[in-house]
Amino acid sequence: MIRKLAVAAAILAVFGGLAFWLVTRPVVLDGAVLASAPTGDMARGEMVFWQGGCASCHAAPGAKDADRLKLGGGLKLGSPFGDFHAPNISSDTEDGIGAWDFPAFANAMQRGVSPEGEHYYPAFPYSSYARMTLADIADLFAFMKTLPAVKGVAPDHELPFPFNIRRTLGGWKFLFFRPEPVLAFDGAPDAVQRGQYLVEGPGHCGECHTPRNPLGGPDLGQWLAGAPNPEGKGIIPNITGGEGGIDAWSEGQIASFLKDGFTPDFDSAGGTMTQVVLNWAHVGDADRAAIAAYLKAVPKMPNGYPAAK
């Protein structure tokens, strides 16, 4: 009897290990899909760069003007799981991504997989970038290749066990990686659909403005309802029309805020939102208006963070 139990346990262990390997393996884009990507246009790629907020994390903290195009990384991002450090994504061929080809870049952006075949942590918002078109990814790559090479490697992430085991991120992806649109807007006006693409894709607004469960997965049932600040101080506000949100803001006021950072009551953007405004100030009026149209169309949600005590 004991021998049979031991054999059964061994078989279960083998099948369990196989299931873990299958679930957690890095999955990349199909080669035929990558081959269908158009040639990137660097002028369009510059707009995608600002939409995606690349400089917010990968430029030196406090960088201004042309220095925001020097993407040497190093910014420390706190979280309940440990501290992450944004990597060097400049065109440097040794310390940055200058030696990458387009498939490597596309797989990083849309599948969260490195050129070495390892999972990236979702502090890099590939779960949003996965909703981008491959054409926009190609344009962005073309622009990134024109940016300055910066020497230096960012510090390693500071993560305790088991979060320092990258293979387990395959389980996180299995549970939470959803590249399809968050909301269904069939037949919506063109501006709303464009805004949805920008907010849910390159703008990755939900990464901060949507609450997360204990495993770090987004609670899509409270989409854009606001959340505790993952760095431990304050909250990320509700940007739906629900109580505590932006229902009183007009579309014009939302679009204006994204350009100059001033709220309707003449307050100004603070914290990390100042970086967001710096990015979106480079983008055309039509795209800022589209974001406003989308935010006014999303379901109204009560605040997604605990009431202040």
Q: Quote the domain boundaries for residue 131.
A: 27-180
Rg, the chain, Cα only: 21
Q: What is the distance between the alpha carbons of residues 164 and 81, in angstroms, rounded to a whole number? A: 9
139 lies in the same domain as 228? no
Give the pLDDT confidence score for residue 26 in this predicted structure: 87
Q: What is the mean pLDDT of each run of 10 residues along the chain (309 residues)?
A: 62 56 80 91 97 95 91 91 95 96 97 96 96 97 97 93 92 94 91 97 96 94 91 85 92 95 86 90 96 96 73
> Are residues 160 and 193 both part of a single domain?
no
161 in the same domain as 43? yes
Give the model's pLDDT for residue 22.
60
* Whether residues 175 and 225 fall in one domain: no
Residue 135 sits in the same domain as residue 278:
no
Q: How far is CA 12 from CA 6, 19, 20, in A?
A: 10, 10, 12
Domain limit, last residue, from 119, 152, 180 = 180
pLDDT (0 to 100) of residue 244: 86
Domain contains 16: no
pLDDT at 186: 84
Q: Which of 133, 154, 180 is the last residue of a domain?
A: 180
Q: How many domains does the chain have?
A: 2
**Same domain flag for 140 and 203:** no
